[in-house]
Amino acid sequence: MNRPLRHIAVFCGALVLALLVRVTWVQFVQGDELAEDPHNRRVKIEAFSYPRGNIIVGGQPITGSVATSGDFKYKRTYKDGPMYAPITGFASQGIGSSFLEGIYNKLLSGKDDRLALNRAKDILTGEKPRGGDVLTTINPKAQKAAYKGLTDLNAKGAVVALDPRNGNVLAMASTPSYDPSAFAGILDGEKFTQLDKDKSKPLNNRALRETYAPGSTFKILTAAAALEHGVIDDIDTKTGAPAPYQLPLSSVKVGNDVAGAPCDKASLKTGMQWSCNNVFLDTALKVGKDKMRETAEKFGFNADVYDEAFGDLKASKSLYPEKLDKPATALTGMGQGSLTSTPMQMAMVAAALANDGKLMMPHLVDELRGPDLSTIQKFEPKLKSQAVSADTAKKVQQMMEYTVDEGTASKAKIDGVTVGGKTGTAQHGANVNDERPYAWFVSYAKQSDGSSPVAVAVFVDPKDMDIPRAEIAGGKLGGPIAKQVMQAVLGK
């Protein structure tokens, strides 16, 4: 072979070798990355070429798949879509997926490695592939009560209900909401854009992803901190906190919301009964910022966003700040200042206190199931922390139950059932008097054996509601919703 031909042969051989190396690299090194690339249309086409697995509530699917024309053979459907949207999220051919649809996308789409045997069987038998199912902990009656309560008010808001004994999420509603079916198709992107631009923010999950000043509902945590750290021993002993209460290092005096309430120098129990600001401002100041923060963190505050603090739920951080002066520390005692919380977080506080101080990890999924109905994974209850001692929790329970029986939380009363509760009205905004306050309510219900199967947090933003400012109160707006949710769980 002459020299030029030899050079050409070597060059061609090098090109072939380079091609083989590149193909091998793409196939075995970049394969997973390319397969998961959101811009890979062929992957999307394949993902929607057969029915997706379902999300199950109360033994019944709340999702489905319907045949369509075009490249994408099936698209997602939803039963009672707006009611369950904060739980399911969406699975859209054009937009992607979120919440449970996103977290368990591989299982629902049949791509989970644990379904490899099922995929092999489908190939051999020629059957159409199908994804696995996600079985939730949601109680359908409680979810309906939560969603109906908010929509009947025509309010922006959220409701979270937990089973304090095991952390099961029994209800999680957010309003205004949206129907995930509306933009499930490849050509429905404009509908998603319209929802995204909507000033009422229907796509936002207010139960998990937004934080607000918790107002007087936080007083149950302030009480727990004072009892846990020995600042107060007897809930019936007068605190000596004057009403109105002058903030330290300030000329500002904070009054109380309930006219004529016996708040001056009141005990912790009376302070809870009438939601006396002076008692809890003074109590937080005496506990101190460090011990207040320590207690708050045991209930879940300051947990890193999207960590395991919320189990399989991705929630925003609820904040008890580090750098607080004395006035700011006092204000946290009544749930104001720079303190913020998600409705899920306040449900966790109520649940832990109802469960004798044990905070169970909240979780939304009970079981993952294969298309052949076999159990792939079963989720067991997990203790997150002993937030406070059982003795402390029982004393706070006593006060919360007294507040329902004889105080401001009476809207949550259920005949024949022991109920504990706390109202909350939270000022917010750059100038707190300019914005309509948030309305909050937290509660729990007990069974005859003293255990609690349900704890609830209700949040209502009355900004766009057609009611006078004087009518905005946690007990009035949130109390009835909490009662309905508890009744649904109890079967009352």
Q: How buried is 238 (Cβ within 10 angstroms: 0-12 exposed, 13-18 middle, 19+ buried)?
A: middle
Choice among 65, 98, 109, 216 that is catalytic: 216
How far apart are the C-alpha atoms of 193 and 198, rounded to whole Å? 9
CA 64 to chain centre: 24
How far apart are the C-alpha atoms of 173 and 135, rounded to whole Å? 18
| Helix and strand totals (H; E) in the chain | 18, 18
φ/ψ of 51, rounded to 5, equals -60, 140
216 has catalytic annotation: yes
Strand ranges inside 2-79, DSSP E: 55-57, 60-61, 63-67, 74-78
3-state secondary structure string, 337-368? CCCEECHHHHHHHHHHHHCCCEEECCECEEEE
Between 219-228 and 289-298, two packed helices, what is the crossing angle to 10 degrees? Answer: 110
CA angle 142-405-436, nearest 5°?
Answer: 65
> Cα torsion at 12, 18, 21, 23 (round to 10°)?
-90
The single residue listed with the structure tokens 């996308």 is 105
Task: Residue 475: name the closest of 446, 430, 437 by CA.
Answer: 437
Query: Count of alpha carbons within 13 Å of 438, Cβ hemisphere only?
Result: 26
How far apart are the C-alpha atoms of 373 and 318, rounded to whole Å? 38
CA angle 482-483-485, nearest 5°?
Answer: 65
Catalytic residues: 216
